[in-house]
Structure 1
């Protein structure tokens, strides 16, 4: 069993120190990818110990000789694989063998995830002795022991903080305060199905499970819990982390698909493919192949990935279903054809009841893009939309890896949520409701109750360049909006 002293940062740091000496590991992204599949195998092996006890005639999908307990465990008898022998086994037997696993339509989800987890997995380590040291550290954790399983939450957060600064991998990280707050507002229930259609490492799914676990009282409740969440993730490394995290939240059949949510015609979804609750932080500014746009009606086809996911949600939400989605400022004031049409649908086919303007730097250092949470449901059409500006907490100039946003920082909006009042500070509104007509008269510009203009910060050159690029993109959107309005006025005069 892992001792208390090896929790969280010490575990991650120990792995990091070992891998830094390996010539094959180049930076945080490769280190985290390497650790992800190693952790998955250990967690899965420990879950199989439980399944063997609980299920009659349990048969593992992992081929003989490739189970963690068969090659990774150090029995202190001098017979464990290490050095070149271990490298040869991992590169030529373990990873190829797991990738060759055959999946059929009858294969249980708990088995199918093994092949999916290893489709894109790689061994970057070139020193077999160092690889043995990493394996030994991971093997000390007993994921069948509640105390050690608790440590994984801390280890997981350590991995996510590494992802946050690992280049493009930061796109998979959503601060836990955000996922917990959105889940708290939407209040998922055991009888419902909750989804994240670009789930990354599974933050929204585990925030949901933390709420649902408190509702489990009976054996039937446990079955509902095991089927309560659904995710799709396109990239391999966050997929492995998401599946591992769900296994450690007692979900024996993690219903997470390794694929792209946008690859199917949205009009073809059946009622069985819709969800009661959807929570998402879709990729901002991403790009998809041109053929992906053709999966959407012409009026909703966008070059912005986040817009496509918002349109997708409209086709995958059940009647009376509810949504919490994080979107950049560009969506609020953007007025190109698809954004305008999406906004019209939100107001006239859904109930867009709340928009929370979030303080800056929440996703720092990955991006400084300003973000918002849109809450809507399919209970009725919109009568009014409340805007609430959540200010930076006292004592903070900005968030960072060492001072991230905390759930307690949402206390002001929690207090306001059930007793909504208009709030005005000086010449600016901090909270205000706008009718659909007012939003229409404002040319569907949702950039309301925003932050007062602040004095310019002195930033490092590269961060300054990044901010200028983002501001230029936002300014271009605003110019397009103005030109479009002028064009309509001129057309009306003719």
Structure 2
């Protein structure tokens, strides 16, 4: 999370851009994002050069190796005169990043950069942006995830921010969900509401961490492209996600401009793993919703339609870990009940992890849960595992400062050993619930429906005893007051 000091620095950069004549907040965000990416390219090139020096093996280069190509690197031009910087960025660097990976259809990045424009008005404004960003990166922004936090803070300056549920999932929650789904090297992973591609990046990090030593050449080729897919209806988000994935060595992801729940999206039985935090708010035009989604849950609510979509796009045996608002778990409408019945009766619902409402602060205070299920098309739900998460390692206020209390390691350990949960009682943090009990409760998946609260019996003294104690206290107070008066009169 960003500190107050970092936010003040971002506000200063924002003010400088605003004073320079860029008054559209979205334009400000886009121009800053391009510069963040340009700087990140140079950082990655420096890493490659260090590895090359250590290993003695040549590494692929991002920038051309001639003098002009090297002049486009952030570290080479950032200290030059503002007019020279403006010329280099506007006439060399920006056209270069728009055509990276060779041509219009070569990559998701080049595809979504085609309509990008360099709109910084003057050399002075550009220099202030570069100086401000450089100071942020050198002193405050440690990793790409904090870069995502920076973007979200800027998004908060838009008057429309959040109306479509566009809030980035915190990295530790994404990492937990990836570990619940446990994607493998040969599988395909999709986020149909990808935003800045956070889930895809976390999945890539997990696969590398767990399987890097054993991956074959074919699997690495799959990793660089076809393994990852994401859809969104915001072209700015698609550019951001393409940039983010490129910097994680995923050069040809399947990133598409698609309204995932509409009739234009016919994807079915295509992916092994779905990881997502779909939009929670708003509805969509009933006429545009794909008919096979309405067959599962006849509604215009996006949070229900997306879960139905996950079932459709998964292959049989495919796994999903997704975030849903609590209303999905206990909503009483016909559409809510139909979706929960579909999960329990026709597929294998494995887990419902209830999260505290502060997880998405300061962006939103909604209560949410993580659903984990496997598409079977033939049932398979026997028992559902419930976990009542109380802490995620951060305070649950707007500041979200790190704390010691953290249930995530316990969640992961217990989920991957559900056989050991058999004897757990509903009074504990986690427990199993029989399918029959869920059916009896109208497919209600709220943990409070099954959790038992133990109240400790408290015995109080008789009223006469309490009154006598109060009399004793009154006498002591009177005595002390007399003693104080005597001291004052001396």
Residue in 2 that maps onto 1:292: 288
Residue in 2 that maps onto 1:303: 300
Measured in 2, the distance between the counterparts of 1:374 and 1:225 equals 26
Displacement of 1:383: 1.5
Residue in 2 that maps onto 1:279: 275
TM-score when scaled to structure 2?
A: 0.71
- Could you tell me which of 316, 320, 345 is aligned with 2:317? 320
Over 3 Å counting, the alpha-carbon distance change for 1:295 and 1:69 in structure 2 is: farther
Residue in 2 that maps onto 1:20: 15
Say yes or no: does 1:32 pair with 2:29.
Answer: yes
- RMSD of aligned Cα (Å): 4.4
> What does 1:468-483 align with in structure 2 at a 5 Å threshold?
none
Displacement of 1:26: 5.5
| CA deviation map 1:210-266 (0-9, x unaligned) | 111121235614323213222112213332332222122122223322332223466
Over 3 Å counting, the alpha-carbon distance change for 1:115 and 1:223 in structure 2 is: closer
Say yes or no: does 1:422 pair with 2:424.
Answer: yes
Measured in 2, the distance between the counterparts of 1:199 and 1:160 equals 15
Equivalent pairs, count: 419
Over 3 Å counting, the alpha-carbon distance change for 1:68 and 1:361 in structure 2 is: farther
Measured in 2, the distance between the counterparts of 1:404 and 1:169 equals 26
| Contact 2:78 2:130 (C-alpha < 8 Å) held by counterparts | no
Which stretch shifts more, 174-183 or 295-304? Answer: 295-304
Residue in 2 that maps onto 1:74: 77
Displacement of 1:330: 0.9
Over 3 Å counting, the alpha-carbon distance change for 1:120 and 1:46 in structure 2 is: same
| CA deviation map 1:86-116 (0-9, x unaligned) | 99x58xx968x959x9976xx322xx42241
| Contact 1:182 1:279 (C-alpha < 8 Å) held by counterparts | yes
Consecutive unaligned residues in structure 1, runs of 5 or more: 1-6, 454-494
Measured in 2, the distance between the counterparts of 1:208 and 1:395 equals 22
> Secondary structure, in 3 states, of the residue corresponding to 2:113?
helix
Consecutive unaligned residues in structure 2, runs of 5 or more: 50-57, 454-490
Displacement of 1:280: 0.5
> What does 1:41-120 align with in structure 2 at a 5 Å threshold?
41-43=38-40, 69=72, 74=77, 78=81, 80-81=83-84, 107-109=105-107, 112-117=108-113, 119=115
| Contact 2:393 2:402 (C-alpha < 8 Å) held by counterparts | no
> Secondary structure, in 3 states, of the residue corresponding to 1:387?
strand
Larger radius of gyration: 2
| Contact 1:276 1:318 (C-alpha < 8 Å) held by counterparts | yes
| Contact 1:163 1:173 (C-alpha < 8 Å) held by counterparts | no
Residue in 2 that maps onto 1:490: none
Measured in 1, the distance between the counterparts of 2:355 and 2:290 equals 32
Over 3 Å counting, the alpha-carbon distance change for 1:431 and 1:15 in structure 2 is: closer
Displacement of 1:432: 3.6
Over 3 Å counting, the alpha-carbon distance change for 1:15 and 1:127 in structure 2 is: farther
Residue in 1 that maps onto 2:374: 377
> What does 1:129-278 align with in structure 2 at a 5 Å threshold?
129-135=124-130, 151-153=142-144, 155-160=146-151, 162-163=153-154, 165-166=156-157, 168-170=160-162, 171-214=166-209, 215-217=211-213, 220=217, 221-227=219-225, 228-264=227-263, 268-269=266-267, 271=269, 274-278=270-274
Over 3 Å counting, the alpha-carbon distance change for 1:33 and 1:381 in structure 2 is: same
Displacement of 1:304: 1.0
| CA deviation map 1:7-35 (0-9, x unaligned) | 99988865652332232455976543331
> Secondary structure, in 3 states, of the residue corresponding to 1:69?
coil
Measured in 1, the distance between the counterparts of 2:440 and 2:78 equals 73
| Contact 2:359 2:392 (C-alpha < 8 Å) held by counterparts | no
Measured in 1, the distance between the counterparts of 2:404 and 2:244 equals 21
> Secondary structure, in 3 states, of the residue corresponding to 2:186?
coil
Measured in 1, the distance between the counterparts of 2:401 and 2:43 equals 34
| Contact 2:393 2:404 (C-alpha < 8 Å) held by counterparts | no
Over 3 Å counting, the alpha-carbon distance change for 1:289 and 1:44 in structure 2 is: farther
Residue in 2 that maps onto 1:464: none
Measured in 2, the distance between the counterparts of 1:242 and 1:223 equals 20
| CA deviation map 1:442-487 (0-9, x unaligned) | 122222336999xxxxxxxxxxxxxxxxxxxxxxxxxxxxxxxxxx
Residue in 1 that maps onto 2:326: 329
